[in-house]
Amino acid sequence: MTDPKTLANRNLIIEALRGAPDANTTTPDLRTMFTPSSHREALAPDATVVRGARGTGKTYWAKALTDPVLREVAARSYFMPRLSHTEVITAWGLEGGDEPVFPGRRAIASLVQDFDKEDNLQPKDLWSAVVLMALKVPQVIALDSWIDRIRWTARNGDAYETALRKADRETREQGKTLIFLFDALDHLHSERAHIDLLLSGLFEVALELRLTTSTLRAKIFVRPDMYDSAPRTFADASKLDANAADLHWSRENLYGLFFHQLGNHSSEQAKAFRDSTEGRWRLEEGRYIAPVEVLADQKAQERLFVTLAGPFMGTDRRKGHAYTWIPNHLQDGLGRISPRTLLSTLRKAAQLTADADATHPLPLYYEAIRESLSHAAGVRVRELEDDLGWAALAVRLLAGSQVPMEPSAVHYAWSSRGFPAELRKVLERKNAGSGPQHPDNPVALLAELEKLGVTTYRTNGAVDLPDIYRLAFDIGRKGGVKRSKA
């Protein structure tokens, strides 16, 4: 008979991680709020651009920063008093309150048709108008349509600068910083070329705020590939990099998040889990804070994880240590792992264990963990298809092969399977994300895939694929994890 504690911990994993992988539909709250040390720089008011791949926490932090209570918790957790004295206005996002200060996606689709046609309107004029709406400038609010607001802003440069100086002076006198927050920018438009131009205008306006005011700031949450592809031909554009931060997750941060979610669930088993760890959890502002060993010490984290999944990915160490095996197989070619991927993998493993191996003596069976890896790979590739459809196509056309493989073999597979024609079809789709920089150059395409973390190179020059992409297709690797048949 399975130990009741094992069943309780297995159910805790399933329930505590139920909403965690999807920040778009989950509202941050005090209980589950996690503040990894590596995210401090991204939340600093002066960080204009915050780069993060899918699932790394962009939308989570965008929502948290607009909540005064959660923003205060973050300020204290990161010892960042300036964050306590900020006001945050959503200047673009999927949620903007009852009276958003920005146009909706349909309105923008119509507005971009007017750029470069009427009155020489530019994307920066749109974002400047959004700033004036956020500042509640009467002349702009009084106008009935967004095209009129943009025209007014473009024609009244002096009034725009006067409004910025006035707002800067008022916030400075109040001892505050006013942040205009931008998130969900991949939803700006259905065509990536238009998104690139809109982002270029947004970056220009954001940099102008940073250079000309002391208390008005933009904070732009954006995917790295979108940041790289947007043209930056305006003055001082290179200074954006100096004010950019990345949402990075170390292995310790990822496991710390996992344990934090378990320890902060509302069930009685969460208390039992907290009591089973090394050190004492402390109750602070509505959430339990794990001891530093649980958050940052690899050896202590591994000891705790062993109680949930066992030490190895098999009967002995030859199959690998579970604590390191999971992140090693979830990372992309750049070593990046999203918390969404890790949490969804562990939850899926708990479900699979409950369904097929309910009598297993541990909450997580290593065979279920292996099978859940294919599930995670499928999710990640679907995200890749949305963000970079051409990259997903490039990998899909390698189906049936085995890595590592010579670059010439990759080029041959692409050529023999009609990659150029298929690529043109993908690039014609409005929802396939951005295209490659050099679509007609196979060597450049491979280089770009490596830069994106989709492929890697062995020391002998052979092309390899991380499991998080390889397992979603029928691509083998000698001695590697097998794709689930489910």
Q: What is the pLDDT of residues 95-134, one digit of tens each?
A: 776 789 999 988 998 888 877 676 788 999 999 999 999 9
- Other C-beta atoms closer than 10 Å to the C-beta of 376 total 28
Q: Residue 123 in contact with residue 234, Cβ under 8 Å?
A: no
pLDDT at 255: 97
- Which whole number is the average pLDDT over 159-183? 98
| Predicted local distance difference test score (pLDDT) of residue 191 | 81
Predicted confidence at residue 453, as pLDDT, reads 93
In which region does residue 57 sit, left (phi positive, over 0), alpha (psi from -120 to 50) or beta (all else)?
Answer: left
Half-sphere exposure of 98 (CA within 13 A, CB side): 0
The set of residues, in sequence order, having a beta carbon less than 8 Å from that of 253 and lying 6+ positions away, is: 36, 37, 38, 339
Instruction: Give the model confidence (pLDDT) of 459-468 as tens digits.
Output: 999 999 999 9
Backbone angles phi, psi at 180, to 5 degrees: -95, 115
Where would I find the H helices in 357-484?
Answer: 366-387, 389-396, 407-416, 419-428, 442-452, 467-470
pLDDT per residue over 260-317, tens digit each?
Answer: 999 999 999 999 999 999 999 999 888 999 999 999 999 999 999 999 999 999 988 8
Q: H-helix or E-strand containing 477?
A: strand 476-477
Q: What is the pTM of this model?
A: 0.91
d(CA 31, CA 15): 14
The model's confidence at residue 79, banded by pLDDT at 50, 70 and 90, is very high
Number of Cβ within 10 Å of residue 173's Cβ equals: 9
Say if CB 2 and CB 361 are below 8 A apart. Answer: yes
Model pLDDT, residue 484: 59
What average pLDDT does range 229-245 have in this prediction?
Answer: 93
